[in-house]
Amino acid sequence: MSPKPSQNKVLSALPLADWERLSPQLEWLEMPAGTLLHEAGSLLKHVYFPVTAVVSLISTMKSGAAAEVAVVGNEGMVGVCAFMGGAPSLSSAVVQGSGYGLRMGAPALRAQAQHSEPLMQQLLHYTQALFAQMAQTSACNRHHGLDQQLCRWLLLHLDRQQGSEMVITQERIAAMLGVRREGVTGGALKLQKAGLISYGRGRLTVLDRSGLEARSCECYASPSPAAPMVHKQSQCANV
């Protein structure tokens, strides 16, 4: 299957000439859930532009405790450190929701960004939104209750996937939130009794999105997924 710029918002905003220089170095990739794309502290070999896959960025402590610090879908890319001086990755990246994406070598992205101002603008714009999401997640985890955090987590992932069903266990959600499984079990039961979700056998379906939004905290609305900075001469949105 040939990659198309319209499948990822960072790529879709590029002028046609920039896309044509970039596209030969992109590889269409299946991304199964649970795939480790890179570990924290590693030098990146590849960067990823999710199309239908959803990726969790995870921070891990020396004790082994971990928590999701951001989530990436087709609004962005995985591996922003690759074009910021080639520094080691700040977090691990794990595919949370199965799907497809585009992959290219990290050195190739750095080279392209150095010679393409529109591409560099897109990458910097998305990086700013990603760091804002990380900061908001940190504040949310400190100041809001688990029920609100759970609603926000579900909404952030729902925004980046196709459909309303998630294949995920309560243990996995607890690990992503950095809390005990019992807390997630209790929170999920409340949402199910309220008719907002249905849950069973590792499958969670959102039944009432507006109800989840009402129960979430203000952190869900701020920040929202990054909107692409569409170049005036962009011609590739529908390519």
Collapse the DSSP code of 165 into the 3-class scheme (helix H, G, I; strand E, B; otherwise coil) and give the result: strand
Query: Residue 157's pLDDT is what?
Result: 94
Query: Residue 2's pLDDT is what?
Result: 53
Query: Residue 237's pLDDT is what?
Result: 47
Query: Residue 110's pLDDT is what?
Result: 93
Query: Residue 228's pLDDT is what?
Result: 53
Q: Domains (ranges, CATH) in the chain?
A: 5-140 (2.60.120.10), 145-215 (1.10.10.10)
Alpha-carbon distance values, 209 to 98, 133, 163 (Å): 21, 21, 12
pTM comes to 0.89
Alpha-carbon distance values, 216 to 61, 140, 147 (Å): 27, 11, 8
Q: Around Cβ 64, how many Cβ atoms within 10 Å?
A: 6
DSSP string, 58-93: EEE-TTS-EEEEEEE-TTS-B-GGGGTTTPPPSSEE
Query: Residue 4's pLDDT is what?
Result: 62
Q: For residue 232, what is the enclosing H or E element?
A: none
In a 13 Å sphere around the CA of 29, the CA atoms on its Cβ side amount to 20
Q: What does the alpha-carbon distance between residue 186 and residue 181 come to, in Å, rounded to a whole number?
A: 9
Mean pLDDT, each 10-residue run in order, the chain (239 residues):
71 92 93 95 94 94 89 96 84 95 95 94 94 92 93 94 92 93 95 95 94 92 55 49
